[in-house]
A and B are shown apart, each in its own frame.
Chain A
Amino acid sequence: MSEIKVKDKEIVVPGETLAIGMDYLPSHWTYREKDKILASRLGLVVIEGKVLKLVPLSGVYLPKRGDTIIGQVTEILLSGWRIDTNSAYSAVMNMKDATSEFIARGADLTKYFDIGDWVMVKIINVTSQNLVDVTMKGPGLRKLKGGRIVHVNTHKVPRIIGKQGSMVSMIKQYTNCRILVGQNGVVWISGDDPAQELLTVNTIKKIENEAHLAGLTDRVHSYLEKRKMPHSGRNIHETDMPDVQYSEQE
């Protein structure tokens, strides 16, 4: 006797009725009130059998354990560094999570990371009060030297990365730039040619704007195909640094 009120992939607003009847189950960002299932934020409906959930489209980042993020060092602490995570909560990177080098008591910590440095780190713990611990021990986690930073909507990050990193590798191929994407919506781009870097920035902005529309990969492909430039010099991403392993989100 249950009735579903929305189509799959439809955009719903808070308080909108998704289904009536007890046959459907509320999941992420939906709630039940009597026999109705309602949306509890702005998002895209995903119907998985009898389970209804929302995929958020907007909002700021909220730190989550296991996320790889790009942050900026904002403060030197007694035994580590405070890192801005582009969210309401800053993170702490302890000395022992930062480097395997021996750091003597009273050493000048700015030698390792100074205020203003950008770092790619992984969240190891988030407490109930949203105190965040991060580490730099892991594949691809490091200090980011040079390059430029772009901020994007954190909910669009899975689209920028693509399935098994397909989207980001496509951009890398066309623009010959190094790209690192943090779950918190901070993207680091570095290339030899500023024009190529700019193309990368524009491509990422395009993905961000059109992330929720179908046929994204094809559109980005033709966008890059139209604007591709001859590679200047060496091929960047063949040569250095191990890439971060991108896994598909959710």
Chain B
Amino acid sequence: MTYEKRSDGRRFDELRPIAAKVGVIPRAVGSAWFKIGKTEAYAAVYGPREMYPKFLQDPLKGCLRCHYNMMPFSGSGERVRPGSNRRSKEISLVMERALRPVVDLSQFPNAVVDVFVELPQTDAGTRCAGICAASMALADAGIPMRDLVCAVSAGKVEDKIILDLMYDEDSAEEGVDIPIAMLANSKEISLLQMDGMITKKDLMKAIDLAKKAVDEICDVQKTALKERFNVAEH
């Protein structure tokens, strides 16, 4: 069997339409909204602020703390128990590790930077959308960063290596989903997960697809960050 055509008519190496905005949550120190296809993520950054509980404080450098949450109504509409679960805890952790290499918190001993990512609408690729939004929100919050982080998923459905999976592709039988996060400049990989089985050759192809897409995502992020200061907001 071969996968002939994607359900939304995209090319196999094409991203879904992307939109982004920075400064969407006025009370947060930094915030951003990132939309890719039907997946939408809001990120809010608070801090550096005092770390509680105190035993989590690190006297050598500041901590980064991520919180990922899919809203109960965000998926297909079936009832989901609100609040954190095993999956969201894991994604919070990998998001923190994806962002960790770019942020420099050495000036903020004992403090914490909190990143909250909320997803009001989801159609696969939520952790990638979350990382893209979080990276913009961190920049907006004035956190010292050496680069931006961009993330996208790649994978394989039947015989085709594809970019930016939708939910029907993600959940396809024998489908492979590989979320990848990269630093915008150096293309160093800061997140690489895999769900499914894939050969080494195909994996490298998938990573190459993601590498090309990262530039496109990064441009959207940069434009959104700069636009925040173009007009006086009210």
Which residues of chain A have a CB within 8 Å of any CB of chain B?
A: 11, 13-17, 29, 31, 38, 40-42, 56-60, 62, 87-90, 128-130, 155, 209-210, 212-213
Count B interface residues, CB 8 Å.
37
| In the complex, residue of chain B having the shortest beta-carbon distance to the beta carbon of A205 | B234
Q: A60-B49, A129-B59, A212-B229 are in contact. Are A15 and B142 (CB under 8 A)?
A: no
Q: Looking at the complex, which one of A41, A90, A155 makes contact with B144 (CB distance below 8 Å)?
A: A41
Q: When A and B form their complex, what is the total count of cross-chain residue pairs whose Cβ atoms lie within 8 Å?
A: 94
Q: Answer yes or no: B73 CB below 8 A from chain A CBs.
A: no
Interface residues of B in 100-120 (CB under 8 A from A): 102, 104, 107-112
Q: Is the CB of A213 within 8 A of B232?
A: yes
Q: Roughly how many angstroms separate A143 CA and B143 CA in the complex, as a whole number?
A: 32
Q: Is the CB of A40 within 8 A of B234?
A: no
Q: A60-B49, A88-B47 are in contact. Are A14 and B29 (CB under 8 A)?
A: no
Q: Answer yes or no: B145 CB below 8 A from chain A CBs.
A: yes
Q: Is the CB of B225 within 8 A of A13?
A: yes
Q: Roughly how many angstroms separate A11 CA and B225 CA in the complex, as a whole number?
A: 9
Given the complex, which residues of A lie within 8 Å of B179, measured CB to CB?
none
Interface of A is mostly: loop
Q: Is the CB of A40 within 8 A of B104?
A: yes
Chain B 25-48 near chain A by CB (<8 Å), digits 1 or 0: 000011000000000000000011
| In the complex, residue of chain B having the shortest beta-carbon distance to the beta carbon of A17 | B185
Given the complex, which residues of B lie within 8 Å of A209, measured CB to CB?
232-234
Interface residues of B in 156-183 (CB under 8 A from A): 183
New contact pairs (10) apart from A130-B110, A213-B232, CB-CB < 8 Å: A13-B148, A15-B146, A29-B144, A31-B146, A38-B147, A42-B142, A56-B142, A58-B142, A88-B111, A212-B229
Given the complex, which residues of B lie within 8 Å of A14, measured CB to CB?
102, 139, 144-148
Q: Is the CB of B222 within 8 A of A16?
A: yes
Q: Roughly how many angstroms separate A185 CA and B107 CA in the complex, as a whole number?
A: 19
Q: Roughly how many angstroms separate A25 CA and B36 CA in the complex, as a whole number?
A: 38
Which residues of chain B have a CB within 8 Å of any CB of chain A?
A: 29-30, 47-50, 59, 62, 102, 104, 107-112, 139-148, 183-185, 221-222, 225-226, 229, 232-234
Interface of B is mostly: loop
Q: Is the CB of A15 within 8 A of B232?
A: no
Given the complex, which residues of B lie within 8 Å of A128, measured CB to CB?
109
| In the complex, residue of chain B having the shortest beta-carbon distance to the beta carbon of A206 | B232
Q: Roughly how many angstroms separate A90 CA and B50 CA in the complex, as a whole number?
A: 9
Given the complex, which residues of B lie within 8 Å of A29, measured CB to CB?
144
Q: Roughly how many angstroms separate A125 CA and B222 CA in the complex, as a whole number?
A: 38
Given the complex, which residues of B lie within 8 Å of A56, measured CB to CB?
142
| In the complex, residue of chain B having the shortest beta-carbon distance to the beta carbon of A14 | B145
Q: Looking at the complex, which one of B29, B109, B139, B225 makes contact with A60 (CB distance below 8 Å)?
A: B29
**Chain B: minimal CB distance from A171 (Å):** 18
**Chain A: minimal CB distance from B54 (Å):** 13
Q: A13-B222, A15-B147 are in contact. Are A58 and B29 (CB under 8 A)?
A: yes
The residue among A16, A42, A129, A209 with the most chain B CB atoms within 10 A of its own CB is A42
| In the complex, residue of chain A having the shortest beta-carbon distance to the beta carbon of B222 | A13
Q: A14-B102, A14-B147, A212-B229 are in contact. Are A88 and B141 (CB under 8 A)?
A: no
**Chain B: minimal CB distance from A208 (Å):** 10
Given the complex, which residues of B lie within 8 Å of A15, measured CB to CB?
102, 145-148, 183-185
The 6 closest A-B pairs by CB, nearest first: A59-B142, A15-B147, A88-B111, A14-B145, A58-B142, A88-B48
